Amino acid sequence: MNEFLTTAKGNKLIRNSLRSLGLYMSERGLMNRLTKTLFSIIRSDAQNPRGERKIECGDLSQLNGFELNSNNAFTQAFSEPIKVITDRQAGAVRIIQEEYIPGEALKHPIEATHYRFIYGAVALDFDLQEFERSLLRGEMLLLDQGRVSAMTTILPIHVDTTLPVIVVIGMEYFQLSANGQFSLLQNGAYTSLTIIGVDQQNI
């Protein structure tokens, strides 16, 4: 029962920390999928006895690749490699993307005209149920653009933080109307968000 409550709190902490990025995600099974993964992480805790195991003492790398909207997975929407570097001493997370051509690298809704990346780095305190986060929405980009240059996105974190850090990336799609206004497609139903990096110090 203790570990069930720990998992429920961890689930809520992660979802709250990313809520403003995934506000429009509509997948109903997210809570259950995340709970299943967190239970597996708790069971990997070799430091504490059964009944007292903790998420932060388990193998959080199991979250790597977790899709927060499995109906629109980021890995299916964008096929190019992405590198993540977490530098605790510098207080920065770097997300490095190589040059790509949208027509080849992106799978997008037919009615979309523009898109943008969304980024996040979150330090999670599962014990205190607190988080520190850095969230960013990228530049609006045209889907029929010929080529997009390589880019590095830097997200600040607290210098020398000892908390586990998860890094996410996602994509939003927009349609440009005749009056020059952008509208988020399907109220964000096409929005993708996935965990692409987990940095943990205590195991």
pLDDT (0 to 100) of residue 184: 85
**Confidence class for position 23, pLDDT limits 50, 70, 90:** low
Q: What is the pLDDT of residue 71?
A: 86
Which pTM value belongs to this model? 0.92
Contact 169, 18 (CB under 8 A): no
> Is the pLDDT assigned to residue 26 strictly greater than 60?
no
Contact 39, 25 (CB under 8 A): no
Q: Could you tell me the pLDDT band of residue 188, with boundaries at 50, 70 and 90? A: confident
Q: Is the pLDDT of residue 112 over 70?
A: yes
Q: Could you tell me the residue range of the domain that residue 94 belongs to?
A: 2-199
Average pLDDT score over residue span 95-107: 94
Q: Considering its fold, how many domains does the chain have in total?
A: 1
